[in-house]
Structure 1
Amino acid sequence: MVLVFTCLDDPTADMVIKHLNERDAHVARFDPGADFPADVELSAWCGEQHPRGVLTTRSRRVVLEQVRAVYYRRPTSYLSEGPSQVERFVRTQSRFGLGGLLAALPCPYVSHPWAINAAEHKPLQLATARRIGFEVPATLITNRADDARAFAAEHGPIVYKPLRATPYAGPDGEPATIWTAQVQLYDLDDSIGGAAHLFQARVDKAADLRVTVVGERVFCVRLDSDLLDWRQDYDRLAYTVIEAPAGLAEGCVAYLDALGLRFGAFDFALTRDGVPVFLECNPNGQWAWLEDATGAPIAAAIADLLLEEPS
């Protein structure tokens, strides 16, 4: 049995499940943060070396001892805001009960949720990348305007990027995204004191690299556009599957090993001298659009990893 944790509408997970079904794997898909306790029943005994028990969804009966792998994609948060203290209590108990149990299964994960949570923090990403030997832009995290201005004076031009993607609405109330953007000196006013901000030296790039790593398989795609942040307009991207620059594949695999991950979506800026500069690694990043655009067999690679025999 392979467990797939994700939200109801996730075509990316569907691609992996299709490959698992073609290999005659038994798959149980559910969204623990949304389906439990209304649509999922659980009984587990936890006083032994590994938990044992049964989890029953609307369509599957899962014997926990028979789970061979977990694909952790994009499940709903247990702690989404509820309208009452009672609902918040229920959600908290679900997170630490069901969530804690599922995180304790003695099987491979792609990737373990606790490893994903740690690896989403950009300071840890940058420090790990530097230890691995990647080039990393000068970076400042601060809420002091004076330090931000001094950083801009030393390393300019600089860019701003959010430390984590956060739901955000524009002046018209419509959902909006904060893209990586170049910052001018006059932007660095005292409003910086209201939160932590990440500023980074802008890389003079010739292109971007999106490097998707599944276990030890590396899929490197060059993205050409005229955008500072290529995510702003996918229609303006040109895609080329390339061999990873020397040392890059090995470095990415080492990065995942260092953080206990089995998947990573890396972003590098490629300088005009051909040097890849590490920007970030999303430990649970999107990849389906790359497979659609290039044919890179990423879904099949994830299915292979989930069905890999333990060493």
Structure 2
Amino acid sequence: MKRAALSYGVLIAAPVGEPHADAVAEWLTKKGVRVAYLCAGNFMHGSMSFTPACDYGPLPHERGGDWGFDEYTIWVRRLVTNRENLGSAPNLRDLCRSESASITAGIIAALMRNPKIRVSCVDKIDCAYLAEHKLLQLEVAGRLGISFPQSLVTNDPDEARGFLDEGPAVAKGLSGNIAISPIVSRLDADLVDAVRAIPVLLQREVDAVADIRLLVCGADVIAWRRDRSTDVHPDWRREDPDGKGFFQVDPPAGLAQSAINVVSALGLSTAVQDWVLDRSGQPWFLESNPQGAWLFLPNARRVAVPMFANHLIYARE
């Protein structure tokens, strides 16, 4: 069916109910920007159809109306846009996730190749995929002269034991799944032999006084700080899973530009980053997540949502 094209709109790849997507979409809509969702989800949540090589702007739609655009900004909030479970078997859940990611990525790639429309992507899928890898993030930070904790990836217990002998260390998962230790935990003698099963990222523990979370959008940076007490878990998510201890601050001197440089070097325009401050006030880079969470942070709906929404609009320029 031929659809009348509109001049411009924002297309958000996200599952149903993703809070960041919904918050930004609401702000854009109030400002008169047309928004559609790309969600390879369950039909009960809305229809989604796509025709390759069509003459009009392809129309994946979900909760966004029955229309197409001449020009898109695509925000890839999530590639896995279907979290449905078709049954109790884990393989069915995994099927929904993997198929939705393939469909979402394929439609975005097709939109970007369509000569009939103009597309800007925040951010490009291939860059965002590579930028998820924390070892690449550390490599980039180091090449930029940014301090990060001494790191070692090993499956050799002797190497792990030697690393631990040199000072306090943590074990960190890289895939988002339950690894040698969920999230981040201190390395101890009981965990050293466990590295035999699979290489593990070990990092020197920073004697930190505060956690810093940054939202980077182009040349704009918002910072939040969470002070640490003594003898706390090295990962704030264990101590404060809702992030209630964070408060908005001005970025420490030079930190905003370092954060922007990391994002740019990874081929992106936006990311959520975690840093820590040691007792001397020096910032240490931990990681940069292309699709990290920020809406839970104080004042995020007031300051971060408009900043991010405007970033999507300006991406077309």
Question: TM-score category by the smaller chain?
Answer: 0.7 to 0.9
Distance change in 2, residues 1:148/1:296 (3 Å) = farther
Closer, same or farther in 2 for the Cα pair 1:90/1:20, shift >3 Å? Answer: closer
Matches within 5 A, 1:83-232: 83=92, 94=103, 97-102=106-111, 104=113, 106-154=118-166, 156-166=167-177, 178-189=182-193, 191-226=194-229, 227=232, 228-232=234-238
Specify every segment of 5 or more residues in structure 1 that has no aligned partner in the other structure, as ranges.
169-176
Q: Which amino acid aligns with 1:60?
A: G
Corresponding position: 1:63 with 2:64: no
Opposite residue 291 of structure 2, the aligned amino acid is: N
Give the TM-score, by structure 1 length. Answer: 0.82
| Identical residues among aligned pairs (%) | 29
Within 2, Cα distance between the matches of 1:31 and 1:250? 34
Q: 1:12-61 deviations in whole A, cap 9, x for unaligned? A: 211101110011011101313666xx932222328xxxx96422536534
Partner amino acid, structure 2, of 1:17 = A
- Give the equivalent residue in structure 2 for 1:28: 36
SS of residue matched to 1:278: strand
Q: 1:186 to 1:94 in 2, by over 3 A?
A: closer
Retained in 2: the 8 A contact 1:32–1:75? no
* Structure 2 match to 1:308: 314
SS of 1:108's partner is: strand
Match of 2:19 among 11, 14, 24: 11
Q: Deviations over 1:188-239 (max 9, x none)?
A: 11x3121121100000011111111111111111111333211124367533
Q: CA RMSD in A?
A: 3.2
Q: CA deviation at 1:95?
A: 6.0
Equivalent-residue separation in structure 2 for 1:151 and 1:89 (angstroms): 37
Query: How far 1:145 sits from its partner (Å)?
Result: 1.2
- For the residues of structure 2 that align with 1:120 and 1:236, how far apart are their CA atoms? 22
For the residues of structure 1 that align with 2:295 and 2:245, how far apart are their CA atoms? 16
Query: Aligned AA for 1:278?
Result: F
Task: Give the 3 Å change call, closer, same or farther, for CA 120–303 of structure 1 in structure 2.
Answer: same
Measured in 1, the distance between the counterparts of 2:301 and 2:65 equals 32
- Count of paired positions: 293
Supply the distance in 1 between the matched residues of 2:210 and 2:50 (Cα, whole angstroms). 49
- Is 1:254 paired with 2:261? yes
Alpha-carbon separation, structure 2, partners of 1:62 and 1:41:
12
Distance 1:141 1:62, change over 3 A: farther
Q: C-alpha displacement at 1:134, in angstroms?
A: 1.2
